[in-house]
Amino acid sequence: MRYSVLSFDLDGTLVDTAAEIAEAVNRTLAEFGVPRQDEERITRHIGHGARHTLLRVLADLLLAEPDRAERLRPDAVLPRWEAHYGTLAGRQAKPYPGCAEMLRALRLGGVRLACLTNKEHRHAQQVLRRCGLASAFDFVLGGDSLPQRKPDPATLRHVLAALGGQPQRAAHVGDSRIDIETARAAGAQAWAVPWGYDGGAPLLEARPDQVFDSLPDIAEHVLGVNRAWIAAAATA
């Protein structure tokens, strides 16, 4: 099949952002006298937007120690979180292997590209900019760009309308069941990568149409080209 639009999730799919999200959470909590939390405990709440991650970590902390409720009021904590994450977003983020190469090859192959993330638009743009990926996309939709966010299929439909694509000739690629549900409900191919933050059982239970072992594999599949062509395209 010839694809006209490919849509990519950001965190855990194109870019590893777990370390900097955890660092921003911990710098925020430190201001409220809370000891550092493990990265793993924070990472499991990535997927519904950065603000949501912080709120879920707060909920865990309050469940464990309810008498922290007065000190950890969201209206006090959220502005500090915005300040810390606003500074750190994109600083330690690492694109997964072959990311820029894959995007460039797809572009050269005539595929229009979107980044569809639940991360707030301004933070997503900052991550993309600092990773050198800002100009790789024809369209970026953040978690606060519309009244809906993933898994609501209105998000992917909006992307397809913006890029003039049809769901039958589009795929959305993600690391979580949120992404698979979004793609399927919008009638597009639901593709997964296994290295993100919702890997293993939850991702596979959502039954993606295809799972890719590397990002360049996606360009190979879509364009019907080999790895040498993709490497050459990256320098063209």
Ligand X SMILES: O=C(O)COP(=O)(O)O
**Shortest distance, position 17 Cβ to ligand X, whole Å:** 7
Residue identified by tokens 């439909």 is 157
Helix axes 50-64, 74-88, angle to 10 degrees: 130
What does 101 interact with, of Mg ion, ligand X, none (CB < 5 to 8 A by kind)? none
**Whose CA is closest to 216, among 204, 205, 232?**
232
Closer by beta carbon to ligand X, 15 or else 72 = 15
Closer by beta carbon to ligand X, 20 or else 101 = 20
Answer for the pair 196, 83: CB distance below 8 angstroms, yes or no.
no
Q: Which of 8, 9, 115, 230 binds Mg ion (CB under 5 A)?
A: 9
Written in H, E and C, the secondary structure of 52-104 is HHHHHHHHHHHHHCHHHCCCCCHHHHHHHHHHHHHHHCCCCCEECCCHHHHHH
**Shortest distance, position 49 Cβ to ligand X, whole Å:** 5
Q: What is the distance between the alpha carbons of residues 227 and 96, in angstroms, rounded to a whole number?
A: 16
Stretch that binds ligand X, among 46-54, 59-67, 75-83, 128-136 (CB under 6 A): 46-54
Stretch that binds ligand X, among 41-49, 92-100, 132-140, 214-222 (CB under 6 A): 41-49
CA within 13 Å, CB half, 169: 15
Residues 173-192 that bind Mg ion (CB under 5 A): 175
For residue 9, indicate whether it is catalytic.
Answer: yes
Closer by beta carbon to ligand X, 12 or else 223 = 12
Q: What is the distance between the alpha carbons of residues 70 and 28, in angstroms, rounded to a whole number?
A: 16
118 binds ligand X (CB under 6 A): yes
Q: Enumerate the active-site residues.
A: 9
Q: Which residues bind ligand X (CB under 6 A)?
A: 9-12, 46-50, 53, 117-119
